[in-house]
Structure 1
Amino acid sequence: MDILKIRDAKDVEAVVRAAIASEQPLEIIGHGSKRGIGQPMATNAVLDLSALNAVIGYEPNELIITVEAGAPLADVASLIDSKGQQFAFEPMNTAALLGTRALGTVGGMIAASLAGSRRVKAGGVRDHLLGAHAVSGFGDSFKTGGKVVKNVTGYDLCKLLAGSWGTLAVMTEVTLKVMPRPESERTLVLRSLDDLAANRAMTAALGSPFDVSAAAHVPSSALRAGVAGLDRLGSPREAVTLIRLEGILASVTHRAASLAKALEPFGKVEMLDDAVSAEAWRAIRDVEPFGAEGPLGAWVVWRIVCPPAAGGALGQRLARESGGDVIYDWGGGLIWAALPPNADAQAALVRQRAAAAGGHATLCRASEEVRRTVDVFQPQPDGLTALSERVRQSFDPKNVLNRGRMIRGAAA
């Protein structure tokens, strides 16, 4: 396999133009941490962006940072943390789930658009992407957005690049909004609720006036082993419901006490302080209970998005019918489901149950053999498929960028 290492955006242009001329599709990678997500691609050429790793500019007072797309996410997160700031959408670290090294890049973070539990309050990756420089499938560089929030006239192409999995353009430089890190956090814990009761408790908390920043439910399970970030909460055989509050200490303390009183009908409320709370939410964000090194490491993992009110019933039914395990995030609007592996990854069951609840599903972990036989990403209705194809062709008419990663059978 040809590994094409580049030095700058001009090299990216040259590589893409050569791929167009030879009709050779390119696999776009930073550190390759998410190569296991998506349909397998048929290509012998890899465009490696890891050398594009510089911080172009960081203005803490203006809450913006500009970096090259191959910049390691861990390094950038450490830099902004040193100034008391963060990416408010809590970018997911897929290392534990996929069993890879924790070497994701900022470009990969944007291309995958996987956000953590604060998305319910802060929005997703695309909501914090202000601008980008990229190379299209024509081999031409273009710039979209800028360095302020209200800078868009016409098409806001940043929103298309987020979640495109590298199929529209090769990002070379991006500008992101950062936010102050909360001074303090508290997590309220309810124990031993079933999925439906937990769903009601989370809905009540999220609908309260207490500015909840995250809600999740980890059901009881005889399948999972202990997880470092959740060990202090007890055995995996005991269900826990978690609700997070953030802000200045005085406000968090007052709101936590008020919310605990409001949740008393659901049971006794416990409280986790800053460090322990952060560990628990990191484990939820990165789906560590379903980690590749754990008892469920050989199981397939689905990411299901549905209306929060339907989450409890959907997850409970899916776990019962499949013999699998589930975790609820964002108050039940996001369900992570680990299912026993088989020939079709139980795709028909997952998609049927998700569709009935008004949701959709993405296969996030499975063997290459399984990913060749099922649709990893949710198949779209004919009208949306046609529209998506028109958008893709307007960026990459020769289909050289990550060909086939999002649509099964399109790699040929």
Structure 2
Amino acid sequence: MSRDLSPRDEKSLSESIKMAASAKMPLIVSGAGSKCGIGRPNGYATSVTTRRMQGISLYEPTELVIGALPGTPLSEIDQLLAAQDQMLPFEPMDYRPILGGNHEPTIGGIAAGNISGPRRITAGACRDSLIGIRLVNGRGDVVRSGGRVMKNVTGLDLVKLNCGAWGTLGVLSEVIFKVLPKPERALSLVLRGLDDAGAIAALTAALGSPFSVSAAAHLPMGVASDSLTIVRIEGFALSVAYGCDEIARLWRPYGKADLLEGKTSTAIWTDVRDARWLVDPAESAIWRLSLPSSKAPGVVAYIRRVLDIRHFYDWGGGLVWLAVNASADAGSKVIRGAMRGLGGHATLLRASPEVRSQVDIFEPLPPSLADLTRRIDRWSRSWCSSVPAARTAPAPRAAARR
């Protein structure tokens, strides 16, 4: 059997998976491969890629709905939506800066990984915008869930279950998203010189205000040239201007806020979205921690006492990005120890193949969720006799995360 199955459409995808199932051959599932460095390295002989399955299958601007085949480049969808002043609400991250490679992200990979960005705090994650899917399960059957309209009611919600499953329950052959109009204006407010605790307090105050804050981040000294605490306000032009004035007033106890607009503001949020602040050195391990924002500075301080790290905060402190230098286990024991009992989770996104083969990539599940994972796995096998192998965690582990 070919080492790389590259079907052009859903029918040939189904046939490829049936061939693999009959040969009892596990499959590596991928799109363009822009996120193939995530998860455990593997030596499976056969892969199936959807990169040739491209095209817009549905676009109704007045209904705010778009559908596409899984191999469609994200940039093609962004350009089509931009022509109608629309956008994918969840601002998906581009992993190429931290993982390397030149393969452009595909919409199927975005859905399979539940990939989201800074606007997650207000617009929700990728899975909150995904309203319909078609997929081919592990025995080659075509399965449809959800629909092509936002007001859609079905029985079992396979849409949410498969968004973030990384291909473990089936290979996506079409995805359908709700979209939103682009904001008329976007501005950023910046405070300088705050420590981590002060920055999280300022971000929490801004996020608790009614002024359309769509992103909130803190870049400590050492990551940026100066300590920067930033929020983005989006919406109608008049309300954005008013909101900036009010948040600047709200922030007076923390210092004077500077205003950023245009390319300068956009560039900062692109760098936050793609974790560009942690790209170098390339040999450092990169972790993504999700936890209560009030606990974030304490967790980072604990880790810093043991490990050589660089870090920054997104989602108002609810998301912490860490780069760990020169550690045999990428700091896994220390980081997981710091996270214990907080109700959050840590995901190792970049490390050497040797480290990734030895440590847990995803947060170990507590007994209750581990039992749920086993039950969903048994259920999935009842309608899917040969689930395609994947390089990541089981679907419940991935999909339950932010």
Q: TM-score range by the shorter chain?
A: over 0.9
Paired residues of 1:198 and 1:312 also in contact (CA < 8 A):
no
Structure 2: which amino acid aligns with 1:283? D
CA RMSD of the aligned region, Å?
1.5
Paired residues of 2:200 and 2:317 also in contact (CA < 8 A):
yes
Deviates more, 1:349-358 or 1:128-137: 349-358
Q: CA–CA distance in 2 between the matches of 1:310 and 1:111?
A: 29
Q: Secondary structure at the match of 1:386?
A: helix
Per-residue CA distance 1:68-98 (angstroms, 9 max, x = gap)? 0111111111211121111111000111011
Paired residues of 1:219 and 1:327 also in contact (CA < 8 A):
yes
1:281 aligns with 2:269: yes
Paired residues of 2:169 and 2:387 also in contact (CA < 8 A):
no
Structure 1 unaligned blocks of 5 or more: 225-235, 408-412
TM-score by length of 1: 0.92
Aligned residues between the structures: 391
Which structure 2 residues correspond to residues 240-251 of structure 1 after superposition, within 5 A?
240-251=228-239
Which structure 2 residues correspond to residues 8-407 of structure 1 after superposition, within 5 A?
8-221=9-222, 224=223, 236-291=224-279, 294=280, 296-396=281-381, 398-403=385-390, 405-406=392-393
Structure 2: which amino acid aligns with 1:211? S
Q: Secondary structure at the match of 2:18?
A: helix
Structure 1: which amino acid aligns with 2:297? G
Distance verdict in 2 for CA 1:403–1:180, change over 3 Å: closer
Paired residues of 2:278 and 2:311 also in contact (CA < 8 A):
no
Q: Secondary structure at the match of 2:296?
A: helix
Per-residue CA distance 1:273-310 (angstroms, 9 max, x = gap)? 1322111101100000112xx3x221000000001111
Structure 2: which amino acid aligns with 1:335? V
Q: CA–CA distance in 2 between the matches of 1:392 and 1:137?
A: 13
Q: Secondary structure at the match of 2:376?
A: helix
Q: CA–CA distance in 1 between the matches of 2:197 and 2:365?
A: 29
Per-residue CA distance 1:142-186 (angstroms, 9 max, x = gap)? 100001222123211100111101111100011111111111111
- Residue identity (%): 39
Offset of residue 378 of structure 1: 1.1
Distance verdict in 2 for CA 1:386–1:404, change over 3 Å: farther
Structure 2: which amino acid aligns with 1:406? A
Paired residues of 2:28 and 2:391 also in contact (CA < 8 A):
no
Q: CA–CA distance in 1 between the matches of 2:100 and 2:332?
A: 22
Paired residues of 1:4 and 1:46 also in contact (CA < 8 A):
yes
Offset of residue 13 of structure 1: 1.3
Q: Secondary structure at the match of 1:350?
A: helix
Distance verdict in 2 for CA 1:404–1:82, change over 3 Å: closer
Paired residues of 1:202 and 1:331 also in contact (CA < 8 A):
yes
Offset of residue 350 of structure 1: 0.7
Deviates more, 1:356-365 or 1:112-121: 356-365
Paired residues of 1:53 and 1:69 also in contact (CA < 8 A):
yes
Q: CA–CA distance in 2 between the matches of 1:191 and 1:29?
A: 42
Q: CA–CA distance in 2 between the matches of 1:398 and 1:156?
A: 20
Q: CA–CA distance in 2 between the matches of 1:22 and 1:134?
A: 21
Offset of residue 399 of structure 1: 4.9
Paired residues of 2:6 and 2:49 also in contact (CA < 8 A):
yes
Paired residues of 1:215 and 1:243 also in contact (CA < 8 A):
yes
Q: CA–CA distance in 1 between the matches of 2:173 and 2:373?
A: 23
Paired residues of 2:137 and 2:387 also in contact (CA < 8 A):
no
Paired residues of 1:217 and 1:240 also in contact (CA < 8 A):
yes
Per-residue CA distance 1:80-137 (angstroms, 9 max, x = gap)? 1121111111000111011121511101001111211111100000000010010112
Paired residues of 1:195 and 1:316 also in contact (CA < 8 A):
no
Structure 2 unaligned blocks of 5 or more: 395-402
Q: Secondary structure at the match of 2:306?
A: helix
Per-residue CA distance 1:6-54 (angstroms, 9 max, x = gap)? 1211111111122121111001111001000011233110102111111
Q: Secondary structure at the match of 2:322?
A: strand
Q: Secondary structure at the match of 1:142?
A: strand
